[in-house]
Amino acid sequence: MREFMQICGFWFVMSLLWCIETRASAAVLPPGDCPETCGNVNVPYPFGINDTSARIVNPRCAMNHFFMLTCNSTYNPPALYFGNIPVQNISVDEGTMSVTIDEAFDCYDKAGLTMNINRWMQLGDGPFRFSDTRNKLTAVGCDTLAFMTDAEGTFGSGCVSLCEENITLEDSCSGIGCCQTAVPRSLKTLNISIGSVDNHSLVLAFNPCGFAFLADQRTFNVSNFRLSDNPYSTKDYPTPDVVIEWVVREETCEKAQSRSNTSEYACGDNTNCTFSENGRGYRCLCREGFTGNPYLQQGCQDIDECKEPEKYPCEGSCKNTIGNYTCSCPLGMHGDGKTGCQGFRITTLATVLGALMLVSIIIFLIVIIWKKRRKEKNFLDNGGKLLKHQRVRIFTEAELAKATNNYVTSQLLGEGGFGSVYKGVLADNTQVAVKRPKDLDKTQLNEEFQHEIGFVSQVNHKNVVKILGLCLETTIPLLVYEFISNGSLYQHIHQRRSQILANWKNCLKIAAETALALDYLHSLANPPIIHGDVKSANILLDDDYTVKVADFGASVLISPGQSNMATKIQGTFGYLDPEYLMTSNLTEKSDVYSFGVVLVELLSGVKPNSSIVMRSGEKTNIIQKFLSSLENKKLSEILCFNATDEEMEEIGVFAELAKQCLSSSGVNRPTMKDVAEELGRLMKLHQSLWAQQNSEETENFLGGDSSSYLSIEIETTKMKQPDTLNMTTISFEYSADSV
């Protein structure tokens, strides 16, 4: 009776917990934080675990409260319970649960009965039944009567085990020392009682006790028992497993599948529904050729039979298909391959070698002809007739392959969304950077595209990376640029711990040269160019640490009369203009905003998309931190270098300029011409300070007389362009860090 009350109490508590949550639908994915094991027992969905050490139970971990099991973590190892019944194993495929239930027993001495323990078992209101196919009522003893009934008294059954001498129990129960009888179908309650005919008086010397229990016929081994066993002495025999069958709902498959609310159907994808007569409900099974948990929303996944040849034989060539596989017999043989192949393999060495040689020669000739025609076709498709008359060098595919050592990994300078850039050395020892685009829309290989190549080849400014030539023999043209040796500004700020940026004057120089390049693109190029991806990774430094703006993969040309252009969002988050993000309209002021971010990056040494924890504990980014420091007159707190009082005045002007560039409204931002002029004015104010400093660092950085920098001028080559040139995307520049 005490065990019965414990079971009822368990189900009552779980029912209350379940009422707290909205009823979960079947065939769903349980939360990711649901425990999946208790001790050495795996607990698959639809079952869930109520860990006794946890304060809160998540009902969604199980399909419903009937499937919520208890894990007692105080044991070592932890033990899993169904009510108060220990659980040993759960099978989703068979719809079974193996549990341990103590046996009924009685014991005698010369005075008569000393102990009689019967067992009462109830599986609650859930969809659980004792398995009628796996379990049998079993009795062990030489004077033992075992009986079983249900709670309603609708059936009764039993068996008698007798023997006259101390025998060894082996193999199966035959009625001598051990007997068995079947369990009826759809049994939810069970009372096992035990008795004796002669109080073991005739066999007391070797058999003082009798046992009665349910036992799973797959795992039960009667030889584990001895007739002399006593439950209160050292128990060295294992308690047999009992199998409980379960279904997800006590209704037919047809009724479950016909519901208007399909979410209540428990089976996931690639599954079948099967009805259990014992459970009076349905279960889910993976379809043939699929595996997994059929009760999860994603259901079962396809089995790759070709990876399991021991289970799925194939004598020939195996190919996986959805839910199955095919097997083709070797050349010269026939059959389905799964059950075997018939015939003779073609194994004559001369035949094979001759055929291979003939095929190889034919393929070799075809490849040579195809490569030659492909190069000729690519050259023409890529505008070779027009471009060979432009001011651009045409390289051969073989020439660039030799220059880059066939694009060996050690020559890789950078890789990104547009392609890869490799360092190369031409036959005349000229160092170059070769860009191999990963992909390019072939619709761009039209007349406008060819004119753009000619245009980019004529861009001439000391602070913009120059294109030296291109290769038209490949499907997508390979672009060749001047090699920039000292990497990117991003590397010097964040990776190399470079001393170049350890003082104010060098930061100002780099900012001013970058501004000159962007001003040239906006104001003096014909037609004007919006860079579209201004960031420190696209600002390169050469041997003399002169700025070279690179990577025009996101750039656009602005036709006369246009001030902006709607494009798909491109660029790098952290540098992108907020107006551009909202409207998709790229303008020259978008470059101004990105340049403002670079100015803050130069001052602070912090990546734009990095999170900063304020003293208040709140998180912010470097832009907001910069604006706050500027407003509170604490600019020195974010600087990544030391500065004198005189330099701090200039840095203050520099910071105010950055603030204007970072205005949320493009109308309120200065033009790049205004920015370049203001930075040039700052450099002239610093002229006297630079003239006095003749350190080795200054000589190396500026390449000689520092005052010569004051003569920075914009070098341009204006080109004649058709008045009707439409805007299109440029993709002919590179960056060593971000392609």
Active-site residue list: 533
Instruction: Quote the DSSP letter at residue 520.
Output: I
* Residue type at 44 in one-letter notation: P
State phi, psi for 598 to the nearest 5 degrees: -60, -40
Q: Which residues contact 117 (CB under 8 A, 6 or more apart)?
A: 104, 105, 106, 194
Residue 735 to residue 492: CA distance in whole angstroms: 14
Pair 52, 74: CB distance under 8 Å = yes
Q: Are strands 342-343 and 393-395 parallel, antiparallel or unpaired?
A: unpaired
Which DSSP string corresponds to 204-269? Answer: TTT--EEEEEEEETTT--GGG--TT--TTS---SPPPEEEEEE-SBSS-HHHHHT-S-GGG----T
Residues 458, 719 contacting (CB under 8 angstroms): yes
Annotation-wise, does 110 bind a ligand? no
Q: Which of 562, 563, 553 is nearest to 465 (CA)?
A: 553
Sorted by sequence, the CB contacts under 8 Å of residue 441 that are 6+ apart come out as none
Q: Is 16 helix (H, G, I), strand (E, B) or coil?
A: helix
CA distance 329 to 339: 10
Query: Other CB atoms closer than 10 Å to residue 142's CB: what's the count?
Result: 24
Neighbouring-strand partners of residue 320:
325
List the one residue out of 466, 440, 447, 519 whose CA is nearest residue 726. Answer: 447
SS3 call for 194: strand
Q: How buried is 97 (Cβ within 10 angstroms: 0-12 exposed, 13-18 middle, 19+ buried)?
A: buried
Known binding residues for ATP are 435
